[in-house]
Structures are given as C-alpha cells and as structure tokens.
Amino acid sequence: MTIHDTTHPAIDLRSLRRDYLVRSGPLGRRTRRVVRAVDDVTLQVRPGEAVGFVGANGAGKSTTIKMMTGILQPTSGDVRVLGRRPVAERRRLAREIGVVFGQRSQLWWDLPLRDSFRILGAMHRLSEAERVRRLGRLVEGLDLEEFLDRPVRQLSLGQRMRGEVAASLLHSPRLIILDEPTIGLDMISKEGLRRFLREDREERGTTLFLTTHDMGDVERLCERIVVVNSGTVAFDGPLAGFRESLGAPRELIVDLASPREALALPPEADVLAVEADGIRHRIAFRGSEMTVPALLSAIGAQAEIADLSLAEPAIEDLVREIYARGR
C-alpha cells in the first residue's frame, strides 16, 4: 500500500478507545477516576468523501480529532490517516492535512493576515508562484481582499474564521479536518464559508471531515453523517437516508376547503393539532409505516384539500432521537 493510494481509506479508525485519568479532590485525599471519552469507534472514510461528525458536548468528537491529528495517543485501537500513524508521523501528516480548530487560531495575531500566509507558505515549502496562485484563489473564494492587510487581532470573528480556513487550505491538503468551523458565526458568514468549502471540494476532490453543532453545516457540506454518543458511533450512513432510516415522524399540514372538527385517520397517523377553527390539521406520521399518498387519499375521502405542506424532521430532532434510543 502506498500513501497516495486512493482506494484505501483517507481515515481509518478501528476500535478506537481513549480514557482520561481525572484527578480530583484536595491534595492528599486526591481521587483518581478513569473517564472513557471515546469507546470503540470504528470508522472508514474514503478519499473524496465529506463526513459530518455530530454529537453533543462530551460525546468524544474533539478527542477523536485529536487522535486523528496525532496530538493524542489512543488508549487502544488503531488510527490511520492518509495511511500514516498520526502520533509517530505528526509532522509529516501536517504537510498533507489542513486542520481548523474553531476555538483556536493558527494565525499570527499581531501581524496583517497576509503575513500569516507568507509564513505558512514557507513552512509548507510552497514556491512563490504556487503560493501566489493558491492564495489568489482563496482570497477570491473566501472574500478576504478587504481585510488582508489588517492585523488578525482586529478582524471580526467571521473574517478571522475565513482566514483560518484559508490558512488550512493554503498547501492544498488532501484531507481537511474542521472542528466547529462555524461556531459563533452569523448566517451570512456561515453561508460564505460553506459555499467556498463546497467549491474547493468540487475542484480538488478533497476529503472533508467536519465536527459541528450546526446541522446546517452537515446538510450543506456532507454526504454522510456519523453521530457519536457517549464515545461510540450511534449512527453512520448517508445523509439522504438519515431521516428515512430513523423513521422519525414527518409532519403533514393540510388546509381544508371547509372546516372540520376532526378527521378520521388511519391508526398509524396522529393528529398533532387542529387549528384555525378546523381549517388547518397537523398530522404526524412515520415514513416507514405509511406513505404520503396513502395518507392524502384517506383525508381526501372525507374532505376537500385546499392546500398542503410537508415538514421533514430537523436533523437536530433526529440526533436527539438517536440519543433517546441509545439510553
């Protein structure tokens, strides 16, 4: 197997486990406790895939990323990233991956943003021509031009994050790992960042691994979602099938042509609410148990439908559901 082999996984985690030893209490009567942050995570990511790694605080997301980047040694199990062992080959791996920790900065705080790219270009041994060309693309795609000459400490959070992402992409890494890249950003900044990440992936076929609390990031950027709960993988599958496979309730909202107090519905459907004096009916049903046409024909047999809309469950709700099941 060679490192540039594209048939092998970009990320390969096998039975990954990580314990922390937590000391607490006053000196002398100090107690030690083992906390398992990651417990048996197995996960393969193919080159070019975009994976959203989702879970609550303390679910083990950051610990997993630290093990993937070589900052943390697994307690047991095996990690390979781009075919490398992260802890042993951290610095070599650093040349091939781009990492953004949303809560930390890799930029030079007191220098103009432009200078950080100059230093990073030299660190990654880019030629002047390569650096200028790549930076040009990043400046255009992430809209950095207006604050390129401003010291990083003076940038707004949104501007700084765009700078951080540009810094992680400057050396055209094959894998980018983003840990909470949109935390604290407003909608417009989030959208700008996501749009560019999509473009860059389309252009270069980069593998993307993303942790986030923002389901919008996953929906806009990822094809695959992995949900972690208490250090284990609670769900792993394509985003498209995420809702169906979970069978979380969908919601049908029908407006009737003339009011009715109640509709007789098949047992699989539940009436959530009847609003506007019997005009609007909100009905919950599970996609796995009944189809929309079946439900509509049942309603159509009783009343004339003036309008209808279908609400899909939000991913947040689905993750919550996974968590509830896991308990």
Tell me how far apart the alpha carbons of residues 146 and 100 are, in angstroms, rounded to a whole number: 22
Residue 91 C-beta: closest distance to other proteins, Å: 6
Q: Which is nearer to other proteins, 33 or 325 (CB)?
A: 33
Q: Of residues 161-200, which lie at the interface with other proteins (CB under 8 A)?
A: none
Task: Supply 250's token pair.
Answer: 């969908």
Largest separation between any pair of C-alpha atoms in the chain = 77
Q: Of residues 62-91, which lie at the interface with other proteins (CB under 8 A)?
A: 63, 66, 69-73, 87, 90-91
Phi, psi of 178 (to 5 degrees): -115, 120
Task: Supply 104's token pair.
Answer: 């930390």
Nearest Cα to 105, choosing from 142, 160, 150?
A: 160
Structure letter (DSSP) for residue 153: G
Tell me how far apart the alpha carbons of residues 325 and 327 are, in angstroms, rounded to a whole number: 5
Residue 5 C-beta: closest distance to other proteins, Å: 22
Helix (H, G, I), strand (E, B) or coil at 309: strand
Q: Which is nearer to other proteins, 4 or 95 (CB)?
A: 95
Tell me how far apart the alpha carbons of residues 167 and 164 are, in angstroms, rounded to a whole number: 5
Binding segment toward other proteins, per CB under 8 A, in 52-60, 105-113, 205-213, 260-268: 105-113
User: Binding-site residue total for other proteins (CB under 8 A)?
Assistant: 32
What is each CA distance from 282 to 248, 253, 305, 311, in whole angstroms? 16, 5, 13, 10
Select the residue interacting with other proteins from 124, 134, 174, 250 (CB under 8 A).
124
The angle formed by the CA atoms of residues 159, 162 and 168, to the nearest 5 degrees, is: 145
Q: Which is nearer to other proteins, 18 or 224 (CB)?
A: 18
Residue 100 C-beta: closest distance to other proteins, Å: 10
Q: Which is nearer to other proteins, 66 or 224 (CB)?
A: 66
Phi, psi of 312 (to 5 degrees): -85, 150
Q: Which is nearer to other proteins, 106 or 172 (CB)?
A: 106
Tell me how far apart the alpha carbons of residues 326 and 232 are, in angstroms, rounded to a whole number: 10
Q: Which is nearer to other proteins, 19 or 223 (CB)?
A: 19
Interaction pattern, residues 3-32, with other proteins; x per rule: CB under 8 A: ---------------x-xx-----------
Interaction pattern, residues 129-158, with other proteins; x per rule: CB under 8 A: ----------------------x-------
Residue 114 C-beta: closest distance to other proteins, Å: 11
Q: Which is nearer to other proteins, 72 or 295 (CB)?
A: 72
Count of alpha carbons within 13 angstroms of residue 205, beta-carbon side: 5
Provide the binding-site residues for other proteins, judged by CB under 8 A.
18, 20-21, 63, 66, 69-73, 87, 90-92, 94-95, 99, 101, 104-106, 108, 110-111, 115, 118-119, 122-125, 151
